Structure 1
Amino acid sequence: MISSLRGTVLAVAGTTAVIEVGGVGLSVQITPQHALALRVGAEARLRTALIVREDDLSLFGFTDADELTVFDALRGVTGVGPKSAMGVLAAMNPGQIAQAIATDDDGAFRKVSGIGPKTAKLIILSLAGKLAIAPAVGRTAAATGSVSDSVLAALVGLGWNERAAVAAVEEAVAGATEAERGAVPALLRLALTRLGPAQPQPAAGGAGRE
């Protein structure tokens, strides 16, 4: 069982990272926000879960022990596979997931692609009182700041000028739900919606994106 790895980031694309460990490149499935935090050429350390099937070996990576704990707990719920569990972690951090379970908020899980009403309710029923992670009470502001910074960096990287990107992120945060404020993909979608169909502006002295 591969429970963790440390090595050089060779590539990051979408939700897949390739980490070189001892001369071997390992493909690891990660969340979009985790992907934004990795840099090619830099060292990364991940908690991991190896999922073994008859025709496939899949390695999933996490930033800390709490994410791995939530991933394993979600996979224990009927109808929730590894991809759906990663989808939940992409939408909410471990504290927010614990909070949703503690407050019987199955709506937070229904927003995740691939999680229907029955499965969302089953997650609540199956994990109530069993997830040893502190709910995200009192941590919203700090989490939002970190997520906002990541979204801003992503927008600038896509070619939007910083002033427009900052305004869009501020508007997105103001109109987002608590779960959306804590998830980079959700907040990024809201910010892009506010930027509208206009094309990103080229940086001064540089070429614009197609």
Structure 2
Amino acid sequence: MAQNERPSERSPGRKAASAGRGTYAVGDERRSRILDAAVEHFAQWGFHASSLARIAKDVGITQGGLLHHFRSKEDLLVQVLARADENDKEKFFSHEFVSAVECYACLVRLAEYNSTRFGRTRMFNVLAAEAGDPGHPAHAYFTRRYTDIVEHMSGPLRQAVESGELKPGTDIVAVAQETAAVMDGLQVQWVLDPKGFDMVGRFCAYADRLLRSITVDGRGLPADV
């Protein structure tokens, strides 16, 4: 500090920086609360019947305050889906699988994780059904999602065929598409009856049967999955 600079002359800048950081933190926290509320509303009413005004009310802000963070209901929907995707990719798909068995063991863990977040899973089911309409704002998202799932699974499955883990001639695209359909179908049944339907157990049994049918040595899931 220069000798002729008094501490008081620097304090406004420091206070402004501190206030700025506090403002950003409040904004991030409010944005997160809006996204959480939107998940519940989209899950209960779907996209079209959900209201920005009701979502804002649940968060304790005005609709104008919500629109300060999200430009429109369509933007809010896209951000809700993007956050869910980012979270799942970071938790389960941030590395390359070394085998088909490892890939399916990871999918079982994803099913277990989904069983702990009822609202998000129900929202996904509702929006996926609505998005069959090409005019729905999430139509492109779900179309791209299934393409991405098949592509992501095809890599390790193809390598498993080349390494001799899976039987030659295994239709890896069909296997990936079937797996996605089974996993999402089981989620629908679980949301309808969360206490009576064992989503994780059903998917684990399916993955084990599938692996035993396509692995060269008839190997299924590890015993500790």
TM-score scaled by structure 1?
A: 0.27
**Rg: which structure is higher?**
2
Q: Which has the higher strand share?
A: 1
Please identify which structure carries the higher helix content.
Answer: 2
Higher RCO (Cα < 8 Å, 6 or more apart): 2
